[in-house]
Structure 1
């Protein structure tokens, strides 16, 4: 039985030696990696802020006079041109006031002409002439007000746009200022975001930004800062309104969630950053990257390099406070399969620059 075991072991040893004898002359396997060249220190950082879209021209339209609604011409979803009638209230009482104002205006103007003729022939005093003139002006002002009240009985579209919602129905009594129809113009869309107090000074009217809408994946919209509020909101941020550029075939509606990305000055001064996947390790004190020292254009040798990491940016990059220099190559893919001193292959078509 022992003889059988010894023979088996001998066969295995012979097989192993035979295999190892074929190894000399075979070059060691070179592991391919993807590397990134560390760019020069960045003077700006990308910061993103969330908000909600709204129409540039949008309003809840009220009547400027009180009354009972007798006609509603607006229908939700319908397009209306500027000046189109949307609703009308009962103006019979205002029309009666207008008739009285017209009659009083005629009487006051006739009286002024009569007194003026007498005044010019010294048959009326200056006080009588001034009183007649004041009465005429008062009558004309009352007439103007009465005419406006009758006109205000018809609500009209302030610009070309769409009826979003009809808020009141026929036969309802509405007070002046009560919203009746909600409209949205065709002047474009905007996004209002909240910017923290420590960054608001870095945002200027006219600044450019890039906007992404949650319901439109893969779409990036150019935007321009149109307005910066000086009043802090309830969530302690400052509202900043951006006008969105129109994009053919992209339907942006009011009330959508969006995110605006700004390129702002780096508050900590110029700093390096690399893709977050380059960094290996747990606690900040033990984080490191694999730096590649090129041997030639095809290969290099990896070195484990401790680094000081900073904050993670919204674009997936992480700030580096120390340990790297611009121009060095760091491994971004395959970082968990390397050991110090290993030779790696640099495939030209897979190299990417930061």
Structure 2
């Protein structure tokens, strides 16, 4: 091999070795700086402003039923009929009930006959005793027989009264003044005692029934400024008051039912109308509010990322309620702190961040 070829090969090997050494060097690691959006915390008056749709319903609605069973022979009302106290709503076939009352009367007459016979015998033996014709033991037996017969009369009389009352129960009458909201049975149907057949609602007191999500129940329970607007007449504002809050959620909608009462003398409010219920209030003391996106859940603890010296640290907080789409913090955060509001789920403790315009931590 000539000297020139050997020199060229040696140069190529040296260049290849240099290239390999350059590729084997690990790249220098650069610390990741993640851009985030932040806000500076400030305490202020927190307003609760929420609106829910509901339905006008009666506060009092009676589900009326017959106290005895039987076949319905007459229906005197329809849905929407106005009724007064004592008006006849439905009637049952009274024939069987009348027969029972007649049987009770017959039992009473038989018991009275036995009692009269026992009383006559007792008096006759008492006269014989006065002449010393019978012993005292016989008199005691006759007195006992008379008392037993009198007790049978009392029992028969009570039974007859009960059967007579049942005959009167064949007619269903309204015990309130109101309007018929539903009819659950028709003529020819056989009903059992206690089965509701007619619903009658009072018209003197009405209320609005709404469904509220579980995260707003406790907050709205304390709100005193409640107003109602009817969809049929939205220009009229009706004052309302929270009367009842359901302790359990509806199994179908998973919302809590709230009943809002309205003045009894309010005109133009009809059952079944659609209404809008608005809750408005301001907190008595200043509160800190952050958007929901600022919260981070880790191991069952709710926290926020606080920016300090260009890095973030996790600060546990306690939630005190909601205000619109924001969350009210009662502890764990202080005015003047800078917290991350966007990108919080992508951070880790001590990570360097870059603040998006137009907020910068001092």
TM normalised by structure 2 equals: 0.54
1:221 is aligned, of 238, 255, 260, to 238
2:163 is aligned, of 146, 160, 171, to 146
CA 134–265 in structure 1, closer or farther in 2 if over 3 Å, else same: farther
CA 66–201 in structure 1, closer or farther in 2 if over 3 Å, else same: same
Q: Is 1:256 aligned to 2:256, yes or no?
A: no
What's 2:181 paired with?
164
CA–CA distance in structure 2, aligned partners of residues 104 and 51 of structure 1:
58
Alpha-carbon distance, 1:67 to partner:
1.9
1:193 is aligned, of 188, 210, 221, to 210
CA–CA distance in structure 2, aligned partners of residues 143 and 208 of structure 1:
59
Give structure 1 stretches of 5+ with no counterpart: 1-39, 274-282, 285-309, 324-354
Q: 5 Å matches for 1:241-320?
A: 241-246=259-264, 248-254=266-272, 256=274, 258-259=276-277, 261=279, 263=281, 270-271=286-287, 313=323
1:72 is aligned, of 71, 75, 85, to 75
CA 203–125 in structure 1, closer or farther in 2 if over 3 Å, else same: farther
**Kept after mapping to 2: 8 A contact 1:90/1:153:** yes
CA–CA distance in structure 2, aligned partners of residues 83 and 240 of structure 1:
33
What's 1:182 paired with?
199
**Kept after mapping to 1: 8 A contact 2:83/2:179:** yes
CA–CA distance in structure 1, aligned partners of residues 105 and 223 of structure 2:
52
Deviation per residue, 1:281-308 (Å, 9 max, x gap): xx98xxxxxxxxxxxxxxxxxxxxxxxx
Task: Flag the structure with larger Rg.
Answer: 2
1:55 is aligned, of 58, 73, 79, to 58
**Kept after mapping to 2: 8 A contact 1:53/1:254:** yes
RMSD between superposed Cα atoms in Å: 4.6
Alpha-carbon distance, 1:115 to partner:
4.8
**Kept after mapping to 2: 8 A contact 1:55/1:254:** no
CA–CA distance in structure 1, aligned partners of residues 60 and 159 of structure 2:
34
CA 100–322 in structure 1, closer or farther in 2 if over 3 Å, else same: same
CA–CA distance in structure 1, aligned partners of residues 121 and 241 of structure 2:
67
Q: What SS class does the counterpart of residue 124 from structure 1 fall into? A: helix
Q: Is 1:90 aligned to 2:107, yes or no?
A: no
**Kept after mapping to 1: 8 A contact 2:230/2:273:** no
CA 96–270 in structure 1, closer or farther in 2 if over 3 Å, else same: same
What's 1:173 paired with?
190
Deviation per residue, 1:129-151 (Å, 9 max, x gap): 66445433432332232122211
CA–CA distance in structure 2, aligned partners of residues 210 and 126 of structure 1:
77
What's 1:233 paired with?
250
Alpha-carbon distance, 1:181 to partner:
2.6
Aligned pairs, number = 253
CA–CA distance in structure 2, aligned partners of residues 126 and 207 of structure 1:
75
Deviation per residue, 1:326-351 (Å, 9 max, x gap): xxxxxxxxxxxxxxxxxxxxxxxxxx
Deviation per residue, 1:183-237 (Å, 9 max, x gap): 2222221223345556656677996732334444233322233334444432444
Alpha-carbon distance, 1:75 to partner:
3.1
CA 66–322 in structure 1, closer or farther in 2 if over 3 Å, else same: same
CA–CA distance in structure 2, aligned partners of residues 243 and 168 of structure 1:
31
CA 247–270 in structure 1, closer or farther in 2 if over 3 Å, else same: farther
